[in-house]
Chains A and B, each alone.
Chain A
């Protein structure tokens, strides 16, 4: 038994520990680094060099590393590096494109160590999480495909039931009109039956239109709950609910809520459905955007006549002028997976609140802006106060 280990066994232990560490780094695809930012020295483990496809003999600097950071993540990366130099911890998911053109998803962590050497240094690790990311994206795609299938199934069930409901009155309408024409053409004409069948065609046409009204009522409750709604608060809740959806689509949200907005009177849940619909539409419009920021602006304001306005602006590809008029038609969609129901229902909801929903192209830059205005109801807010009292 070695009570006093010899220098030789010290070296062996150290070598063994080093081999263990290198093996562990390789297996976990995690490299480590030590960054002496005062001296601008970066020490990288072999595994980290392998991840970045650097020769281990390379003189590594932040300027060199920066060249391989994905352009879309560069701002966040630089901010993290600056923050770390000022003493903040490192915790950054980002992407790199290696010299051979491979896209890798990395996750860097690091912490400042004050007393390991004469100057504070940052010691940290970078894990290559590409495989997990790819699996996550495959899972997300599978989920999206499933949702698409579900939507298509809903749509086909919906069209079948609409067709059935509308075909019934149309059948008697066409039959009555045919009989009417025959009665008029008879010799002598049978004016009594002609009149009866003509009246029936009017009734049948009204029945067909009632079917459509019933269908709308299925989507929009006929009598919305009337309560005082703080639109800023309602919109903030929607943003909180959709935060992870927006983050995973790498969308920056800019909020500009007007202070001191009067309450509006309406159905909070329905209005939130409209806001959510506009927010998700804006997200969808920007999914294919590369090379410029995916920014979503949401703003509230007080209108000229005391009404309250909310608008959602995206930096997507915008709306072709010829499509502007059709946007709010039921079943009109420009999306491969859309049902074309969202905006039509949104419009029904806003109209039920005596408001207006409209779309326009962005004045300064690409994208579209969807806005609605609702008259604010002072009586409504007073009523709520008295109800609470």
Chain B
């Protein structure tokens, strides 16, 4: 079985959805944007996703809630959290729950690429149940 290699970007900010996939593609990664947790969960990309870049604060289901939902579904996709709230204080809790990384916006190219590479390498070849 091939390692799943799609990087899904879930962020309610349309400009992040526009900019980040272009940067990831320039590194030879396959990237797809989603505007909400619901859109991602309903997509057929779920089984192909090797890394989830996930905004913490979103309307509807937020980032941490999607993390719990994926855990409930035994869907072990490594998650790189990104947050615009400088001091939301959620980092340690999200990392303890198994997140691969927790980055504050704005993040550098080096930081996001290193986090995603690490996440893709750690991914297991287990499909979501």
Contacts and interface: CB of A to CB of B under 8 A. Distances in A.
Contacts of A125: none
**Best-buried of B20, B23, B107 by chain A (most CB within 10 Å):** B23
A204 B14 CA distance: 12
Given A169-B15, A172-B16, A173-B106, A183 B87 contact: no
Nearest to A183: B26
B108 to A, nearest CB: 7
18 contacts: A160-B85, A160-B87, A164-B86, A167-B106, A168-B16, A170-B106, A171-B15, A171-B107, A174-B106, A174-B107, A175-B16, A175-B23, A178-B108, A179-B22, A179-B23, A179-B26, A183-B26, A197-B22
Given A178-B109, A179-B22, A171 B16 contact: yes
B65 interface: no
B18 interface: yes
Contacts of A179: 19, 22-23, 26
Contacts of A176: 19, 22-23
A175 B86 CA distance: 18
Interface of B: 13, 15-16, 18-20, 22-23, 26, 57, 82, 84-87, 104-109, 112
**Best-buried of A173, A178, A193, A204 by chain B (most CB within 10 Å):** A178
A178 B112 CA distance: 11
B19 A175 contact: yes
Interface residues of A, number: 23
Interface in A374-388: none
A216 interface: no
A182 interface: yes
A182 B110 CA distance: 12
B22 A193 contact: yes
Contacts of A186: 26
B18 A200 contact: yes
A187 B104 CA distance: 32
Contacts of A182: 23, 26, 109
Contacts of B23: 175-176, 178-179, 182
**Best-buried of A164, A179, A200, A204 by chain B (most CB within 10 Å):** A179
A173 B86 CA distance: 17
B64 to A, nearest CB: 16
Nearest to A163: B86
Contacts of A197: 19, 22
A174 B13 CA distance: 15
A172 B19 contact: yes
Contacts of A173: 106
**Best-buried of A167, A186, A193 by chain B (most CB within 10 Å):** A167
B25 to A, nearest CB: 9
Contacts of A200: 15, 18-19
Given A164-B85, A168-B84, A200-B18, 19 more contacts: A163-B86, A164-B57, A164-B86, A167-B84, A167-B104, A167-B105, A168-B16, A171-B13, A171-B19, A171-B82, A171-B84, A171-B107, A172-B18, A172-B20, A174-B107, A178-B109, A179-B23, A193-B22, A204-B15
